[in-house]
Structure 1
Amino acid sequence: MVRDVTEHHTPWNQSSSTTIDVQQPFAPSLLAETARPTPYDAPGAAGGPDLYINAERFRETFCADAPVDLAQIMGAAQRPLAAAALAEKATEAGWKQIPSWYQVARHDNAINPEAQRFMAKRMGSTIDEIDSSHTAFISHFHQPRQRHRFVVPAAVIGQRCAANPPAAQARPPHQIALIAPDLEFRTLG
C-alpha cells in the first residue's frame, strides 16, 4: 500500500532525503528482490558491500525491452552500486535551482514508476512518460522523435538561461537537469 507522501513533515519531501526515504512509500521494485551484495565492502564507499543485479534476472529487472544479446552484454558489464549510497542523505537539491526534465519509464522494474512520478513532481520537473524499461534511452534508440521531443526543449531552456543574466544569477549558467531512469542525473551545459 502506498502511503500519503503529501505531508510536509515527512523526510521524502525534503531535499536531504535518501534514496530509501524517497522510495519507501511505494511498492518495492523488482530490483529490491534481484540485487545481490558482494561478500566484501565496496572500495571507497562509506561502508558495506557493492550491489549487483542477479545475472539470471538482469534483463527482466533492468532492461526488459532491450534485445536479449544487448541485455546479456549490459548484465556482464554492469557497474555496481555501493549499498551505502542508498542511505546517504543528499547534501544539496540541484532541482531547487535548476530547471529539470524527468522521463518516467512506465515499465521500469528497477525504480517504481510511481516513485519516479513523485520525484519528478517534487522537483517541479517537466515530465515525459515512455512505455519502456529502466533503459529507455538505450532500448528506444530507434525512436529519435521520442528522444528529441524530450531532450530538445530542455536544451533550448538551458540556452535561454545562459543568455539571460538574471536567470543565470538564480541558477548556474546554462545548466539544466535532465533526468531519465537510464541516465540517472546529468547536468547539461
Structure 2
Amino acid sequence: MKQKPTVVLVHGAFADSSSWSGVVEKLQADGYTVVAASNPLRGLHDDAAYVRQLVASIEGPVVLAGHSYGGAVITNAATGLNNVKALVYVAAFVPDEGESALDLAGKFPGSTLGETLHPVPVDLADGSGAADLYIKQEMFHRQFAADLPEGTATVMAAMQRPVTNVALEQASSAPAWKDIPSWFLVAAQDQNIPPQTQTWMAERAGATTVEVTASHAVSVSRPGDVARLIAEAAQVTE
C-alpha cells in the first residue's frame, strides 16, 4: 500500500485552526497525518507564500484543503508544487487568475456578510494602511454558524481572527486547480458565499462535488462530511 498523504488544512476568514478540530480527529482516527495551518489572513499573496513554504517542507504526498478564503489561499499556494496531489474546497473560494475573493462573493446574490462586518483600522507590515474585518459578535451566529448551538457560536465569535480587506481584494495568480484534481463541498445554507456561487466555481474547476445542508461553518457543524470528502480525495494518492 502506498504512503497515506499528509492532509494540510487551511482555515479562512473569521476563524482559526480550531475550526478544523472535529475534522482533524476523524482524519487522525483513519490514520492520516494532519497539519492545520495558521493562515495569517493579511494578504492573498503573502498568505499563499506562507502556506506554500509549509507544504513544501512536507515529505511525501499532500492533500491540501481550504475553507472559505482559505480556498483562494490553497489555489495560489499549490501552483507548481509537485507533492500536492489533490485540492479540497470546503464552502470555499476557487478563483481563476485575476479574480479576487471579493469579486467572487458578489457574482451571484445571496451573501449577507457585508452588512455584518466591523472594520478596524490596522497598519500592515509594509507600513500601508488597511482594515481588519470582523463579523459583529451579535450577528456571528446567524451569519456564520446558524446550524450550531448559540453557545458554540458565541465562543467562535469571540475567538474569530479578522481578515484584511487587502486579502479579499487581491487578485489571484495562476490557479493550481487547472493542474491538480479538486473536490468541493457545497454548504447549502451558507450566508457568506452563496451556494449558487459555490456550485458555479466547483463546476468551472471540474471538481468532484457534494452538497450538504450546513452553514458556512460546515467544518465545525459537519466534520464527518468534510473528513469523508478529504479521505475520498486522498485515495488518488494511495
Q: Normalised by the size of structure 1, how large is the TM-score?
A: 0.69
Q: Residue 234 of structure 2 aligns with which residue? A: 155
Alignment of 1:44 onto 2:125: yes
Greater Cα offset, 52-61 or 16-25: 16-25
User: Do the aligned residues in 2 keep the contact of 1:28 with 1:112 (CA within 8 Å)?
Assistant: yes
Partners of 1:95 and 1:63 lie apart in 2 by 28
The question of whether the paired residues in 1 share the 8 Å contact of 2:185 and 2:226 is answered with no
Is 1:74 aligned with 2:165?
no
Matches within 5 A, 1:100-115: 100-115=182-197
Residue matched to 1:130: 212
- Picking from 119, 122, 129, the partner of 2:201 is 119
Q: 1:44 to 1:28 in 2, by over 3 A?
A: farther
Q: Distance in 1 between matches of 2:208 and 2:98?
A: 22
Separation in 1, partners of 2:220, 2:209 = 19
Q: Which residue of 2 aligns with 1:170?
A: none
Taking the aligned partners of 1:47 and 1:92, their CA distance within structure 2 comes to 27
Tell me which moved more, 43-52 or 127-136. Answer: 43-52
Provide the alpha-carbon RMSD of the alignment: 2.0
Structure 2: stretches of 5+ with no match in the other structure: 1-93
- From 143, 147, 171, the equivalent of 1:89 is 171
**CA apart distance, 1:81:** 0.7
**Cα distance, 1:25 vs. partner?**
2.5
* % identical aligned pairs: 35
Is 1:20 aligned to residue 99 of structure 2? no
In the superposition, the TM-score normalised over structure 2's length comes to 0.56
Counterpart of 2:230 in structure 1: which amino acid? V
Provide closer, same or farther for how the CA distance between residues 17 and 56 of structure 1 changes in structure 2, counting only shifts above 3 A: same
Deviation track 1:49-73 (CA, whole Å, cap 9, x = no partner) reads 0100011110111111111111111
Structure number with greater CO (CA < 8 Å, separation at least 6) is 2
CA distance in 2, matches of 1:110, 1:64: 11
Counterpart of 1:48 in 2: which secondary structure? strand
The alignment of Structure 1 onto Structure 2 pairs a total of residues equal to 144
CA deviations on 1:20-60 (whole Å, 9 max, x unpaired) are 2223221141111101101x225337642010001111011
Determine if the alignment matches structure 1 residue 60 to structure 2 residue 142. yes
The verdict on how the C-alpha distance between 1:133 and 1:41 changes in structure 2, with shifts beyond 3 A counting, is: same
Q: Contact 2:97 / 2:172 at 8 angstroms: preserved in 1?
A: yes
> Structure 1 residues 50 and 148, CA, compared in 2 at 3 Å: closer, same or farther?
closer
- Aligned residue type for 1:98: I
